[in-house]
Structure 1
Amino acid sequence: MIHWLYLHGRAFVQACARLFAQPLGTLLSALVIGIALSLPAGAYLLLDNLAGLARGVSGVPEISVFMAPQAGPPAIDDIDRRLKADSRVARYRFVPRDQALAQLAQSGLGDVLSGLQTNPLPDAFVLVPASEDPASFEALASEARAWPAVAHVQLDSAWVKRLHALLTLGKSAVLVLAALLGVALVIVTFNTIRLQILTQRAEIAVSRLLGATDAFIRRPFYWFGGLQGLLGGAVALGVVWAVVLALRAPVAELAQTYGAVFRLSGPGWPESLAILGFAVLLGWLGSAISVRRHLAWD
């Protein structure tokens, strides 16, 4: 184990030395990788932020459960117990018919309602589902329709379906873009390692004459590709954060025009580690393909 760690430590030092020996080339490669990775990473982050902004502007999706006119306190208590025990309901509120009539009168229809002999509005429960998934939304509403003393169930789900469909499409497009750019970055690393191998052909030949194994020769190149990917991932994070900071104030102003309070957020620790890990994987993959291709005949 100690010998294995020593070999990898030695390969790591050699890879770092090769990176710092060509600072301009290392910087340009990191910029190419970072800018390319920042496109899908930034787009995915933007989709998450836009989803939060859309929810803040459009309001929380709700399900309105209207009771039958003849429903009495026992029926209302029964529905109340069902809602308390249902984990799919994040929260709910009961709106008595008299309160609903008063709210309607305050909206400017007082003169019209004053001529009514009786209150035509039913008692109602307004539910906020725990999940905004359209399928879960529909399932909860369908079950509520079958409850006793329920006359009508109204869903506020049209915008939820559209938003869900748009986000799904956007995330699929981002994944396709990430895959295409990933292939391009593997090619970039492939060519970089190929040039490293060509410039060190004499050193590799001497190492083999001295008894060096293929694993010993390949190991520094693997580290070189992984470190190059890591530098590119760090550049990608920097680009994403720079864009977030530049757009944070304009986006907040836009949200305020819709009466929403919204703050554009950057990538958290899980997202940051995912970007760095993906970049390292691409760098290692490009180096592995190049090493196996060009050291096979070296």
Structure 2
Amino acid sequence: MRAWSYQHRKAIAHAMQRLLRQPLGTLLSALVVGIALALPAGGFVLVDNAASLARGVTGSPEISLYLSLDATEADVADIESRLRAQDALAGVQFVPRDAALKQLADNGLADVLDGLERNPLPHAFIVTPRQEDPALFERLHTTFAAWPKVDHVQLDAAWVQRLHTLLSLVELGVSLLAVLLGAALVIITFNTIRLQILTQRAEIDVTRLLGATDAFIRRPFYWLGCLQGLLGGLVAWSVVTLSIALMRPSVEALAEAYGAVFSLNGPTPPQVLALLVVAIALGWLGTALSVRRHLRESQ
């Protein structure tokens, strides 16, 4: 175990020395990797912000249950107890028929309502699901419509479906962009490590003559690719964070002009960690492909 740890520490030190010996090349490689990673990373962050903004603008989706006109107080109490027993609901609001009638009168329909002999409005419940899931809305709609004394169920989920479709489309586009740029980064790392191997071919041949294994030869290159990926990930994180910071005042001013309160959020710690892990993994993959190919060809 100590020998294994020592070999990896030595390989890391060797890889860092290679990076420090070529500061300009290291900087340019980190910038290329970082800018390429910043595009999809920034896209995912903006999608999260857009979803948050959409929820804040449109509010929580609701389902309205209108009871039969002959529903008694016992029927109302029974339906309310059923609704409150639903774990999928975050809120339940009862709207008595008299309160609904008064609200219509306050909205300027008092003259029309005065000509009615009785209140034509039913009791109603307005419920809010815990999740903005169209499938959940449909399931609750079917369940509520089958209850006795429930005359009509109005599903306020059309905008939810459109929102999910739009955000899913944007997220798919960002994901495709991430795949394409990820493949490009693997190719860049492949060529970078290939040049490193070619410039050190004589050293590798001498090391082999001295009895070094392929694992010993590959190890510094693996760490070199991982370190390049890590540097690129840090650059991408910096670019995304700086871009969000520059855009935030303009976005806040625009939201304020429409009477809303909204601020762009930067990448969260889990998103930053995922970005760095992906960057390191791409660097390792490009290195593995390059090292295995060129060492096999040199045998």
Q: Which runs of 5+ in 2 are unaligned?
A: none
- Alpha-carbon distance, 1:260 to partner: 3.2
2:253 and 2:55 map into 1 onto residues whose CA distance is 16
The residue correspondences of 1:27-106 to structure 2 (distance < 5 A) are: 27-106=27-106
Q: Does residue 243 of the first structure (1) align with residue 243 of the second (2)?
A: yes
Normalising by structure 2, report the TM-score: 0.96
Which stretches of structure 1, 4 residues or longer, exceed 6 Å deviation after superposition?
none
Partner residue in 2 for 1:111: 111
Alignment RMSD, CA only? 1.2
Partner residue in 1 for 2:221: 221
Q: Is the 8 A contact 1:57 1:255 kept in 2?
A: no
Partner residue in 2 for 1:198: 198
- Alpha-carbon distance, 1:257 to partner: 4.1
2:225 and 2:74 map into 1 onto residues whose CA distance is 70
- Alpha-carbon distance, 1:109 to partner: 2.3
Q: Which runs of 5+ in 1 are unaligned?
A: none
1:131 and 1:259 map into 2 onto residues whose CA distance is 26
1:29 and 1:245 map into 2 onto residues whose CA distance is 25
2:168 and 2:38 map into 1 onto residues whose CA distance is 20
Partner residue in 2 for 1:144: 144
1:183 and 1:59 map into 2 onto residues whose CA distance is 39
Corresponding pairs, count? 298
What amino acid maps onto 1:26 in structure 2? T
| CA pair 130-8 structure 1, distance change in 2 beyond 3 A | same
- Alpha-carbon distance, 1:86 to partner: 0.6
* Identity value in percent: 61
1:264 and 1:119 map into 2 onto residues whose CA distance is 48
What amino acid maps onto 2:14 in structure 1? Q
- Alpha-carbon distance, 1:73 to partner: 1.1
2:107 and 2:123 map into 1 onto residues whose CA distance is 19
Partner residue in 2 for 1:157: 157
1:247 and 1:202 map into 2 onto residues whose CA distance is 51
Partner residue in 2 for 1:271: 271
1:182 and 1:81 map into 2 onto residues whose CA distance is 53
Partner residue in 1 for 2:167: 167
2:285 and 2:224 map into 1 onto residues whose CA distance is 11
Normalising by structure 1, report the TM-score: 0.97
